[in-house]
Amino acid sequence: MNVFSIENMNLWYGESHALKDINLDIEEKSITALIGPSGCGKSTFIKSLNRMNDLIPNVKIEGNIKYKGHDIYSPDVDVNELRREIGMVFQKPNPFPMSIYDNVAYGPRTHGIRSKAMLDEIVEKSLQNAAIWDEVKDRLKKSALGLSGGQQQRLCIARALAVEPRVLLMDEPTSALDPISTAKVEELAVELKNNYSIIMVTHNMQQAARISDYTAFFFLGELIEMSNTDLLFSKPSDKRTEDYITGRFG
């Protein structure tokens, strides 16, 4: 089943045409990696999927972005509800300057959960699912800013999981992390795909090859090709894809 299907999508930042005629489907409960050189539009693309681009002035989007068959840019869509269902993990870990507990509880509280017992349960479950519970369970009331970069990123994943999303958008989630933390986040992503659909922007082609099921290659605002990860890396159908994955540019 497709969780997203995108048809003829175009996006402009003011005058500059950042995404050109994108057509692609994203399979649910799998990891889709978006690769391509810097400035090719992959981050812009992923931010359109939960309408984070709304925060940037002068963005114009045309075409259809359907989430479970429903156009997310249609006027009857509740953006806050959409973002609850389509969670996001950012490039730089961005925990709030609050306690670890309050970070994870932020989303559930936002959506109206007040009961202490329920929040406790959600916080514990989310931290466990993000594989960081054991490291922080004795310091839940301490500031999240005291955690290491890798821990902060997993905390941000826990925070995103706490609102029970269906999709996780990850915008280069490991680019600011050391190799060991990166391995942990990758492992986590593979585990999470059993329950969530994951779309991940990455600069690291080994990472895409290691953990993703599908890979899409973006170049200069166009989607050059998308296929099974194994296929894309072994038999790319486009010359530009081949040049990029063999390291001739990028």
- Confirm if 59 and 12 have CB atoms less than 8 A apart: yes
> CB of residue 233 vs another protein: minimum separation in angstroms?
30
Is 224 a binder of another protein (CB under 8 A)? Answer: no
> CB of residue 2 vs another protein: minimum separation in angstroms?
23
> CB of residue 165 vs another protein: minimum separation in angstroms?
9
Q: How many CB atoms lie within 10 A of CB 225?
A: 18
Interface region with another protein, contact rule CB under 8 A, candidates 9-17, 29-37, 47-55, 231-239:
47-55
For residue 241, give both structure tokens.
Answer: 């894809």
Is 154 a binder of another protein (CB under 8 A)? Answer: no
Is 14 a binder of another protein (CB under 8 A)? Answer: no
DSSP 146: G
Choosing from 42, 83, 154, 193, the residue that interacts with another protein (CB under 8 A) is 83
- Confirm if 31 and 211 have CB atoms less than 8 A apart: yes
Which DSSP string corresponds to 30-58? Answer: SEEEEE-STTSSHHHHHHHHTTGGGGSTT
What is the distance between the alpha carbons of residues 86 and 72, in angstroms, rounded to a whole number?
11
Is 163 a binder of another protein (CB under 8 A)? Answer: yes
Is 50 a binder of another protein (CB under 8 A)? Answer: yes
List the strands of the sheet with 31-35, edge to edge: 86-89, 167-171, 197-201, 31-35, 214-219, 222-228
Indicate the residue among 89 and 226 with the shorter CB distance to another protein: 89
Residue 206 makes CB contacts below 8 A (sequence gap 6+) with none
DSSP 99: B
Is 143 a binder of another protein (CB under 8 A)? Answer: yes
Dihedral angle sign, alpha carbons of residues 208, 131, 102, 122? positive
Indicate the residue among 103 and 215 with the shorter CB distance to another protein: 103
> CB of residue 94 vs another protein: minimum separation in angstroms?
4
What is the distance between the alpha carbons of residues 148 and 177, in angstroms, rounded to a whole number?
9
Is 113 a binder of another protein (CB under 8 A)? Answer: no
Is 69 a binder of another protein (CB under 8 A)? Answer: no
Is 192 a binder of another protein (CB under 8 A)? Answer: no
Q: Which residues bind another protein (CB under 8 A)?
A: 50, 52, 55, 57, 80-84, 87-88, 90, 92, 94-98, 106-107, 110-111, 142-143, 145-146, 156, 159-160, 163
